[in-house]
């Protein structure tokens, strides 16, 4: 009888220890991508798990490099509820170094800063941004082809296209009417770039993305080639294709 009582006491103690831990385990799953298509597309799934002794980060980083044969890397890291900061690494056997995955929590979203800038949505939700904030993540929404009309100070008007893509290192490159753009900077909802149209002619362009993430306008300046009067121009009614 005493042995039976001891067994029951041990079982009860184990249950009391395990049940609170189980009850305190909560998971949040987020999904994001780099905005590219085809073989340039990259995706992350980030899972933040709350346990009795703290938070842990897990998930998967996916590089779609060869069709169905995607490269998948497990994500491991930490999350601080006090600061909202997430810091993790994707361990990819085909990379010489681990890939940094970082960001911070904002409402129902995760603002991803590495390996590229994007917004990771909480699984099962479609949150609306507060009034006055952009409805799209600019660094993601600029990717793709834009078409519109340009006007310059020399009286020339025409149609043009500007394309932005994200490189494997996370930086953005592009082209304007076939001319490569190597230096692209994103600051809020403003995208700026420079490129050489010839050995001596430099173009500086800028687009301001509107809140819908699908329309933009801007301006540019061309200088060089011993031209004492650089000409300027505007980009009007550019639409994402």
pLDDT at position 59 is 94
65 vs 215 pLDDT, higher one: 215
pTM of this structure: 0.45
Distances, alpha carbon 130 to alpha carbons 106, 133, 135, 219, in Å = 11, 6, 9, 29
Does position 236 have pLDDT exceeding 70, yes or no?
yes
35 vs 24 pLDDT, higher one: 35
DSSP characters over 39-51: GG-EEEEEEEEEE
- For residues 216 and 144, give the distance between their C-alpha atoms in angstroms, rounded to a whole number: 13
Pairing, β 179-181 against β 172-176: antiparallel
Does position 26 have pLDDT exceeding 60, yes or no?
yes
Domain regions of the chain by residue span: 26-128, 139-240
Cis peptide before 50 (omega within 30 of 0): no
Question: Do the domains 139-240 and 26-128 match in fold?
Answer: yes
CA nearest 223: which of 197, 198, 202, 193? 202
Q: Per the structure block, which two tokens stand in for 199?
A: 């050995």
The answer to whether the CB of 29 falls within 8 A of the CB of 123 is yes
Strand order in 144-152's β-sheet? 179-181, 172-176, 157-166, 144-152, 231-240, 215-224, 201-209, 190-196, 183-187
Pick the CATH number of 139-240 from 2.40.128.20, 3.30.70.100, 2.60.40.1180, 2.160.10.10: 2.40.128.20
Does position 132 have pLDDT exceeding 60, yes or no?
no
Identify the helix (H) or strand (E) that includes residue 60: strand 54-63
pLDDT at position 146 is 93
CATH number of 26-128: 2.40.128
| Number of Cβ atoms within 10 Å of the Cβ of 151 | 15
Burial class (CB in 10 A: 0-12, 13-18, 19+), 63: buried
The answer to whether the CB of 112 falls within 8 A of the CB of 35 is no
């Amino acid at each position: 009888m005493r042995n039976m009582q001891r067994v029951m006491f041990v079982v009860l103690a184990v249950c009391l220890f395990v049940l609170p831990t189980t009850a305190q385990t909560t998971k949040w799953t987020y999904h994001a991508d780099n905005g590219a298509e085809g073989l340039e597309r990259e995706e992350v799934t980030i899972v933040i798990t709350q346990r009795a002794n703290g938070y842990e980060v897990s998930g998967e980083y996916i590089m779609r490099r060869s069709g169905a044969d995607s490269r998948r890397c497990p994500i491991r890291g930490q999350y601080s509820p006090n600061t909202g900061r997430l810091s993790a690494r994707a361990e990819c056997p085909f990379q010489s170094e681990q890939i940094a995955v970082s960001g911070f929590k904002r409402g129902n979203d995760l603002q991803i800063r590495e390996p590229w800038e994007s917004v990771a949505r909480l699984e099962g939700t479609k949150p609306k941004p507060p009034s006055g904030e952009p409805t799209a993540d600019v660094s993601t929404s600029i990717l793709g082809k834009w078409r519109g009309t340009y006007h310059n100070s020399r009286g020339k008007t025409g149609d043009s296209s500007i394309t932005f893509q994200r490189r494997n290192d996370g930086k953005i490159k592009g082209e304007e009417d076939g001319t490569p753009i190597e230096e692209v900077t994103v600051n809020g909802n403003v995208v700026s770039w420079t490129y050489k149209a010839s050995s001596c002619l430099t173009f500086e362009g800028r687009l301001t993305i509107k809140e819908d993430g699908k329309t933009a306008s801007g301006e540019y300046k061309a200088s060089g080639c011993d031209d004492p009067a650089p000409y300027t121009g505007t980009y009007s009614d550019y639409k994402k294709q």
